[in-house]
A and B are shown apart, each in its own frame.
Chain A
């Protein structure tokens, strides 16, 4: 099953690699998304700035109907040059009428999209001469209520603003003003009277950057924009998925942002894990105000999220044949390994079990099985043996000769024949009638089994004696595997010869018998009562059991001495 296990390990490594690769791709995707988001935010802010530049020029154009109107210029000039207050007051009223009359033209100029909310006419000293609402109504949210008071406020003037000063100097100018909590787009044009060397005043148009304006700007630039001043939101134009209030915390600390102060814009800042914003400082007088462009990133928290976000046509880009081939090859390879290492041995085991059940055989043949199946077969055989012995049957175990011949008094169970007269009376166990003493034949099935110490006239094929600790007693359930069996296995050419005929085998056993008697005598053991007939019967049973158990063709017996006693060793012989 080593191949199957290797295959499982390989599959596990491949699976882990695939998951790790998916996470790596997710990281790469998120990194690219972050970079893309930063680029997009920069592009958005640029787009908004370009939109403002275009917007400012068109707003200047929208003031032309007012600035070029003769009535407005005339009355403004009269107010500036008036010598008495009454005359100036009269011209102020006339100027107001002219503004009301001309305002619709300014409203419709440039397609009507760039008209100012209010226009203010200022004189040479930048004090207010006239005021008119073109679009917005004061005090209703779009414009602060104080606009209605500027005409009556003698202190109010616009002379400090560069746009107005430049307009009074004869130039068209635009700017951004932050007046109170409002931000205004400013366009200023000079009012020129024919024959004068300098403008007699200027007309200033103001457009509040309110929600309506920002929404239109966001729509035209395809961005999400939030304008802010003094650390607070002023207006917003975002789609429904983004709450402008998310920026509040960031806006409160923006005044301390060095990039915002020095570079006029910040790097993309994370508002929440998937939302970033870039804050841009406005130019002009409203330089402490600004706008933020917001973008939502499609970050992947896990690779599985990619499945949800994949486009519909993704399947067209999948290498389906390659994926199918990988699946098929992987499946078939795993199937083949499983069949080879699991199905085949299982079938063999099942076949043997069936034969055992039908009585075709007395035990399983572990040698025909592999790995754990062999161990299982051994265990089953041992179990059968145990049950047989327990119920008074005869064991077919080759090593358990003492059970067959009966115990030999004063002898080690593994020792060879003992004289009945020297042994205490013992009861034959099974298969050994007439054998008062028993002898044990260690079956050389374990590699740890030590070879016999001295060898006397042993078979040439017997293993050489080795020095070392005494061998452990034979174990009932010791597994038999190929290597262990081979240790005590005689060379086939030698083993095959005596098995060709019964006579040869008996002659061989006679030789073993004589060697055994000789060994016992040398060891000082009694040999009375140990006849060849008994000896041969015991060897036969032992041979049959071993042949059945190990599917060998012959069993060869050798004599050796152990701890001063004669011993027999049975070695299964197989065809090579």
Chain B
């Protein structure tokens, strides 16, 4: 009985977590048409029925990570930035870690055909997307919103997206249908590279803070495995046997190491 309820509770709790972590206001989500009122009431009602527990943690080693988009010009001299000094690129990264790293909680007991997560909004602005890496379950609706006052042209081979102007304030949606990685690029903005990773059994995801790398999950009680994703693939060492208690907030004693890749 308990086993059957867990996935449903996880699904409903994840929807709330997504809204919380991504700081998407409900009014904005409604305006975009991503959430319907009945679904919202059902989700909130279910969440109230199945309380979640806050799980706090932090990541370490992120200073050593360098986005591939930054090193790309150095690997291909013909597209290098002639008027830039490439060796200083690493110094900037720790400032905006919240966009680059996605921490994902997987339930210890895998479930077949895990349900889709709540819709996720990805903003396109400032020469990048926010977030840069996102991990969801297949079927999750993802909306790209142009936050710049000029048009973008997002393309993706994996998503079968051809060029189509994304006007200021406009959105374009897509849902992954199977596990895998889809990369989205803007031909006229080389720094724009977005990775949407579709994984089975994603319970929730969170983005670390820019200040100290801390993150917060709201999860139903149970056992989980935490993984960090960076640049479209897992990095560091997964943290297994993470227990979320039935009551009270929980805090991880050790940091989730993200510096070493663990493909």
Instruction: Give A residues with C-beta under 8 Å from B.
Output: 49, 52-53, 56, 124-126, 144, 146, 149-150, 153, 155-166, 168-171, 173-180, 198, 229-230, 262-264, 283-285, 287-289
Known contacts A156-B149, A166-B91, A180-B150; A284/B128 CB under 8 A: no
Number of interface residues of B (CB under 8 A): 37
Chain A binder among B38-46, B171-179, B185-193, B219-227: B185-193
Q: A161-B126, A264-B78 are in contact. Are A146 and B149 (CB under 8 A)?
A: yes
Interface residue stretch chosen among B2-10, B54-62, B82-90: B82-90
Are B92 and A168 within 8 A (Cβ)?
yes
With A49-B82, A168-B95, A174-B83 already in contact, the answer to whether A126 and B89 are too (CB < 8 A) is no
> Which of A165, A175, A288 is B92 in contact with, Cβ under 8 Å?
A165
Min CB gap A189→B, angstroms: 14
Q: Complex: how many Å from CA A179 to CA B210?
A: 27
Other-chain contact of B150, A146, A155, A174, A287 (Cβ < 8 Å): A146
Give the chain A neighbours of B161 by CB distance below 8 A. Answer: none
Contact B128 A159 (CB under 8 A): yes
Residues of A within 8 A of B93 (CB): 165
A193 → chain B closest CB, angstroms: 16
B147's nearest neighbour on chain A, judged by CB, is A155
Tell which of A144, A164, A173 has the most Cβ of chain B within 10 Å: A173
Known contacts A160-B192, A161-B126, A175-B84; decide if A149 and B149 are in contact (CB<8 Å). Answer: yes
- What is the CB-to-nearest-CB distance from A201 to chain B, in angstroms, rounded to a whole number? 11
Cα of A175 to Cα of B168 in the assembled complex, Å: 23
- Residues of A near B191 (CB, < 8 A) are 160-162, 285
Q: How near does chain A come to B107, taking the closest CB pair, in angstroms?
A: 33
Q: List 16 A–B pairs whose Cβ atoms lie within 8 Å, in order of A's numbering.
A: A52-B83, A125-B96, A126-B96, A146-B168, A156-B126, A157-B125, A162-B191, A166-B89, A166-B92, A169-B92, A171-B91, A173-B85, A262-B78, A284-B82, A285-B127, A287-B190
B237 at the A interface (CB under 8 A): no
Complex-state Cα separation, A177 to B127, whole angstroms: 9
Query: How far apart are A273's CB and chain B's nearest CB, in angstroms?
Result: 31
Instruction: Beyond the given A160-B189, A165-B93, please list 11 additional residue pairs across the A-B interface where CB-CB is below 8 A.
Output: A52-B83, A149-B149, A156-B149, A160-B128, A161-B191, A162-B81, A162-B191, A168-B95, A171-B88, A173-B85, A175-B84
Residues of B within 8 A of A285 (CB): 127, 189-191
Min CB distance A283 to B, Å, is 4
The answer to whether residues A284 and B84 also contact, given A146-B149, A157-B126, A160-B126 and a CB cut-off of 8 A, is yes
User: In the complex, what residues of A have CB within 8 A of residue B92's CB?
Assistant: 162, 165-166, 168-169, 171
Contact B83 A125 (CB under 8 A): no
Write the nearest CB–CB distance from B101 to chain A, whole angstroms.
15
Does B148 reach chain A (CB closer than 8 Å)?
A: yes
Q: Which residues of the partner chain A approach B243 to less than 8 Å between Cβ atoms?
A: none
Q: Which residues of A contact B70 (CB under 8 A)?
A: 162
Bound-state Cα–Cα, A171 to B90, Å: 11
With an 8 A cutoff between CB atoms, is B99 at the interface? yes
CB contacts (< 8 Å) of B79 on chain A: these are 264, 287
A191 to chain B, nearest CB (A): 14
- Are B88 and A158 touching (Cβ within 8 A)? no
CA–CA, A159 to B99, complex, Å? Answer: 10
Interface centre among B80, B84, B85 (most CB of A within 10 A): B84
Q: Is B141 an interface residue (CB 8 A)?
A: no
Minimum Cβ distance to chain A for residue B135 (Å): 20
- Give the distance in Å from the alpha carbon of A150 to the alpha carbon of B125 in the complex: 11
Chain B residues whose CB sits within 8 angstroms of the CB of A263 once the complex forms: 78
Q: Tell me the bound Cα distance from A288 to B147 in angstroms.
A: 21
Residues of B within 8 A of A149 (CB): 149
A230 to B152 Cα, complex, angstroms: 12
Query: Which residue among A125, A165, A287, A289 has the maximum number of chain B CB atoms within 10 Å of its CB?
Result: A165
Contacts of B78 on A, CB cut-off 8 Å? 262-264
The answer to whether B148 touches A156 (Cβ under 8 A) is yes
CB–CB B83/A161 < 8 A: no
- The complex places the Cα of A160 from the Cα of B147 at a distance, in Å, of 13
Interface string of B120-139 (1 = CB under 8 A from A): 00010111110000000000
Per-position contact with A for B236-257: 1 when CB-CB < 8 Å, else 0?
A: 0000000000000000000000
Knowing A155-B125, A157-B126, A162-B70 are in contact, say whether A178-B83 is a contact too (CB < 8 A).
no
CB-CB < 8 A to B192: which residues of A? Answer: 160
The residue on B at minimum CB distance from A146 is B149
Interface centre among A159, A160, A171, A285 (most CB of B within 10 A): A160
Residue of A nearest to B88 (CB): A171
Cβ of B184 to closest chain A Cβ, rounded Å: 13
B-side contacts of A159, CB under 8 Å:
96, 99, 126-128
- Tell me which residues across on chain B come within 8 A of A171, comparing CB atoms: 85, 88, 91-92
Candidate in B84, B88, B92, B126 with the most chain A CB atoms within 10 angstroms: B126
Give chain B interface residues in 194-216, CB to chain A under 8 Å: 210
Q: A169–B126 contact, CB under 8 A?
A: no
> Once bound together, how far apart are the Cα atoms of A168 and B79, in whole Å?
24
CB distance from A137 to the nearest CB of B (A): 17
A56 to B96, CA, bound (A): 26
Q: CA of A551 to CA of B211 in the docked complex: distance in angstroms?
A: 133
Q: How far is the CB of B73 from chain A (nearest CB, A)?
A: 9
A contact residues around B150 at 8 Å (CB): 144, 146, 179-180
Determine if A288 and B81 form an interchain contact, defined as CB atoms under 8 angstroms apart. Answer: no
Q: How far is the CA of A56 from the CA of B82 in the complex (A)?
A: 12
Question: CA separation between A360 and B126, bound complex, in Å?
Answer: 119
Specify which chain A residues have a CB less than 8 angstroms from the CB of B148 in the assembled complex. Answer: 155-156, 179
Smallest CB–CB gap between A168 and chain B, Å? 6
How far is B149's CA from A124's CA once the two chains are assembled, in angstroms? 21
Pick the residue among B88, B125, B145, B188 that contacts A156 (CB under 8 A): B125
CB distance from A192 to the nearest CB of B (A): 14
Query: Which B residue's beta carbon lies closest to that of A182?
Result: B150
For the complex, give the distance between the alpha carbons of A262 and B80 in Å: 11
CB of B133 to closest CB in A, whole Å: 14
Is there contact, CB below 8 Å, between B188 and A230?
yes
* In the bound complex, CA of A178 to CA of B189 (Å): 8
**Whole-angstrom distance between the alpha carbons of A497 and B155 in the complex?**
122
Bound CA span A125–B260, Å: 26
**B50 at interface (Cβ–Cβ under 8 A)?**
no
How far apart sit A166 and B192, CA to CA, in the bound complex (Å)? 16
Write out the residue numbers on chain B whose beta carbons fall within 8 Å of the beta carbon of A174: 83-84
Point out the residues of chain B lying under 8 angstroms from A52, CB to CB: 83
- In the bound complex, residues from chain B placing their C-beta under 8 Å from that of A49 are 82
B127 touches A158 (CB 8 A): yes
B188 and A162 within 8 A (CB):
no
- For the complex, give the distance between the alpha carbons of A146 and B125 in Å: 14
Q: Which residues on the B side are within 8 Å of A264 (C-beta)?
A: 78-79
CB distance from A279 to the nearest CB of B (A): 14
Contact B147 A56 (CB under 8 A): no
Choose one: B89, B91, B147, B189; the contact of A153 (CB below 8 Å).
Answer: B147
CB–CB A284/B83 < 8 A: yes
Most buried by A among B81, B128, B150, B190: B81
